[in-house]
Copies of this chain bind each other. A is one copy, B any other.
Amino acid sequence: MPEKNNTIQVVRKPDEMAEVAGKIVNNGGKIGLVPTMGFLHEGHLSLLKLLNGKCGVKIASIFVNPIQFGKNEDISAYPRNEKRDIEQLQAAGCQIVFAPDPEDIYPPDFQTYVDVERITQGLCGEYRPGHFRGVTTIVARLFNITRCSVAAFGLKDFQQAQVIHRMVKDLYLPVELIFGETVREADGLAMSSRNTRLSLAERQTALRLSRALEWARQRAENSAVEVSEIVAGVSHIISSSPNAVIQYIECVDAETLKSVETIFSRAQIVLAVYVGKTRLIDNITIGKDSGTKPIASVIL
């Protein structure tokens, strides 16, 4: 029997989740999914809101997916608070939480992976080998287990959004994707479960990421500008703090994720920076046409 938490249903076993979802779908129901790694913040909850009117049943998954962490990455340091997550999901109108155990998701005989090739090679993919293979494999499986016809992802993980979009298109997965704009704290810091690991001093340093990106946006607002100048400026703003170690800052085409040299109409600045031991990512659309349509529609 599923655990009940007032009105929200918590499902642990993949087989049970598939059965529950199958019944909903076979009765003509539509399911929406927000896949998460838990330790929820307003960014996650905003994705649930984006499902409004798109489905009758909202499922959120909470699963810290081991195969998307590299062997040098400390999965045990990823923050968790399942009890609070479930309370927040219930308050946000989510009907089912799928929170499986890793050993049920990856039994010993598991051996099937989904691989997106070219657009996973650069940016985060270059520094986190195997990361996107882990992401696409778990997302494809969550789509199938939950039988969702719509799913929402945040654009803070910009490359991930494009990779998942590519996978859905290439595999003809019958799932509509919705992308939510990055939700930020009042001072501009992109919301992330990892932010809680920042010390007060580190949090001040972390602010430089969004400030640098906002500087780039303004700099490229009205005229064509050289990428080298933009990247140097963003780099300078961030690296002038001793706490920050830049992994990459790149200016790419939002769809192909290939580097661009001159910014004419619009482009995407994407970056990854270590602030102390915490790896943060952020991105922004820049260029004179950056305001013409939301970046989510560039993906779709």
Contact = CB atoms under 8 A, between A and B. Distances in A.
B115 A112 contact: yes
A231 interface: no
Given A141-B171, A171-B140, A119 B111 contact: yes
Contacts of A170: 110-112, 141
Contacts of A140: 171
A22 interface: yes
B22 A141 contact: no
Nearest to A137: B171
B115 A171 contact: no
Contact of A166 (B14, B111, B172): B111
A114 B167 CA distance: 10
A92 interface: no
Contacts of A174: 18, 22, 144, 147
A56 to B, nearest CB: 14
Q: How large is the interface on A (under 10, 10 to 19, 20 to 34, 35 or more residues)?
A: 20 to 34
Contacts of A75: none
Max chain B Cβ within 10 angstroms of own Cβ: one of A14, A112, A144: A112
Contacts of A22: 174
B114 A172 contact: no
A113 interface: yes
A116 interface: yes
Interface in A132-172: 136, 140-141, 144-145, 147, 166-167, 170-172
Given A28-B28, A174-B22, A167 B112 contact: yes
A136 B18 CA distance: 22
A113 B110 contact: no
Nearest to A30: B26
B28 A112 contact: no
Given A18-B172, A147-B174, A171-B140, A113 B111 contact: no
Nearest to A25: B174
B113 A115 contact: yes
10 closest Cβ pairs, A-B complex: A112-B170, A144-B172, A111-B117, A145-B172, A113-B115, A112-B116, A111-B118, A112-B167, A110-B170, A141-B172
Interface of A: 14, 18, 22, 28, 109-119, 136, 140-141, 144-145, 147, 166-167, 170-174
Given A115-B115, A144-B174, 4 more contacts: A111-B166, A111-B170, A112-B170, A114-B171
25 contacts: A14-B172, A18-B172, A18-B174, A22-B174, A28-B28, A109-B166, A111-B116, A111-B118, A111-B119, A112-B114, A112-B117, A112-B166, A112-B171, A113-B114, A113-B115, A114-B115, A114-B171, A115-B115, A141-B170, A141-B172, A144-B171, A144-B172, A144-B173, A145-B172, A147-B174
